[in-house]
Structure 1
Amino acid sequence: MSYLGVGVSPGNVPVSHSSSTTNLKVIDRRVRVAELVLRFLICGLGLAAALLVATDTQVKEIFMIKKKAKFTDMKALVFLVIANGIAAAYSLLQALRCVMSMVRGNVLFSKPLAWIIFSADQVMAYVAVAAIGAAAQSAALAKLGQSELQWMKICNMYDKFCNQVGEGIASAVLVGLSTILISCISAFNLFRLYGGNKNKSSSRW
């Protein structure tokens, strides 16, 4: 059988993979950019959350006695500050790794390294979400009180302190959501290494 007068069988017709390769490169580039943006976002928001809560204080005079509210009075807030500080530092290191990978171009992304990054991102996501849950519960008790246990509404007295803590928790929520997205990206980067059509010469993180 011939095509256009040339004796070439259908099984011998050359197939171009340039379009599929281009699509893979575009996807890979978008994943890299998304990861880099999220890493820096976590770094900035995590630092903001930690500073907002850690530097928050308010002094009130109650029955001629001055009482100072600070984040160390609530263990959940201490956990929130530590968790977001660690998340910010970790994300900064990972962001620098991403920048170096983009500058170098083709970087071999080994399976052991991918597993380490995936596991670390998973741990950070769990820690961030746990810190948010603990801080949110404590904040709710401070805001609403607990009449059954005769716990008063602390925020009625320390309104400025509670407002700033609320801003810190809001930043921490964004950090938690970003860590979840990052863990999804690291999972994608890991499990695509096990694909049957893996191109060893392509750049991976």
Structure 2
Amino acid sequence: MSPGTVAVYYGGGKLRVLDSRMKMIEVVLRCAICAFGVLAAALIGFDSQVRKFFSVEKKARFTDMKALVFLVIANGMVASYSLIQGVRCVVSMVNGAVLLDKAMAWAIFSCDQALAYLTLAAAAAAIQAAQIGQFGQPELQWMKMCNLYEKFCTQVGEGVVSAFLVCLCMVTVSSISAFNLFRLYGKAKGKS
């Protein structure tokens, strides 16, 4: 049997499921979350552009929009958490353990769900702020800013795309953690 296959053993009415592919996918996704989260935070956090209007210099920074500050903080948190969970996954793969106890599975599931919603909220807020910066809001007399700060807006757009990828990966990881949690509650409880 190849190492990436699912093995099912029936013994004494108990079902034992070993799924190394699921663990490998989780490790890859957590590494992707970490990389994209750091990339999004760096692209947006270090972005600035100075523009001179007559004799006044105005500097555009990510701190000028609170939605971008929220996005940078959220992606930093998710990247740190995913790094820790990625290390936990690698250690469990090396030890051969597939499932954890219920308390740990609940904790991982809860954190994954909370951070998936956090990244979704941060990405949605940043997209809304980017739309206002790109197109303005004439009804409120907010002017377009991206035609004045093109480099800044382009780099923020790249960061928002990276944050959206973090969101997609985080939703997938939270689905995996939900699967890992709820398979502990079947008629035949899985054990490692």
Decide which of 53, 72, 79 is 1:88's aligned counterpart. Answer: 79
Q: Using the TM superposition, give the Cα deviation of residue 196 of structure 1 relative to its aligned residue in structure 2, in angstroms.
A: 1.4
Equivalent of residue 148 in structure 1, options 135, 139, 163:
139
- For 1:41 and 1:20, locate their aligned partners in 2 and report how far apart those are by CA, in whole Å: 30
Alignment match, 2:119 = 128
Match of 1:198 in 2: 189
Shift of 1:51: 0.2
State the alpha-carbon separation in 1 of the partners of residues 83 and 41 from structure 2.
Answer: 15
Contact 2:23–2:89 (8 Å) recurs in 1: yes
Does residue 57 (structure 1) correspond to residue 48 (structure 2)? The answer is yes
Which letter maps to 1:146?
Q
Give the equivalent residue in structure 2 for 1:15: none
The residue number in structure 2 matching 1:76 is 67
- The two structures, once aligned, show a CA RMSD in angstroms of 1.8
C-alpha contact 2:183 2:190 (8 A) present in aligned 1: no
Unaligned runs of 5+ in 1: 1-18
Match for residue 21 of structure 1? 9
Q: CA deviation at 1:96?
A: 0.3
Structure-2 separation of matches of 1:134 and 1:108? 36
Long gaps (5+) in structure 2: 1-6, 11-15
List structure 1 runs of 4+ shifted beyond 4 angstroms.
none
Q: Contact 2:48–2:152 (CA<8 Å) still a contact in 1?
A: yes
Contact 2:33 2:170 in 1 (8 A): yes
- Cα displacement (A) at 1:198: 2.5
Other structure's SS at 1:66 match: strand
Pairing 1:48–2:36 present: no
Contact 2:99 2:190 in 1 (8 A): no
Q: TM-score, normalised by structure 2?
A: 0.90
Q: Which residue of 2 aligns with 1:102?
A: 93
- What is the CA distance between 1:107 and its match in structure 2? 5.8
Report the Cα distance in structure 1 between the residues aligned to 2:17 and 2:96, rounded to whole angstroms: 15
Q: Which moved more, 1:108-117 or 1:46-55?
A: 108-117
Deviation readout 1:91-146 (Å, 9 max, x if unpaired) = 00000000100111136610000000000000000000000010000000000001
Q: Give the equivalent residue in structure 2 for 1:8.
A: none
2:142 counterpart SS class:
coil
2:63–2:69 contact (8 Å) kept in structure 1:
yes
**Is 1:33 matched up with 2:9?**
no
Following TM superposition, by how much is the alpha carbon of 1:43 offset from its aligned partner in structure 2, in angstroms? Answer: 0.2
Residue 5 of structure 1 is matched in structure 2 by none
What TM-score comes out, normalization by structure 1 length?
0.85
Higher strand proportion (structure 1 or 2) = 2
AA matched with 1:64: S
Which residue of structure 2 lines up, in the alignment, with residue 7 of structure 1?
A: none
In structure 1, how many angstroms separate the alpha carbons of the residues matched to 2:8 and 2:90? 26
Q: CA deviation at 1:156?
A: 0.6
Residue 117 to residue 199, structure 1, CA distance change in 2 (3 Å): closer
C-alpha deviation, 1:54, in angstroms: 0.3
Post-superposition offset of 1:48: 0.2
Question: Between the two proteins, what is the percent identity of the paired residues?
Answer: 57
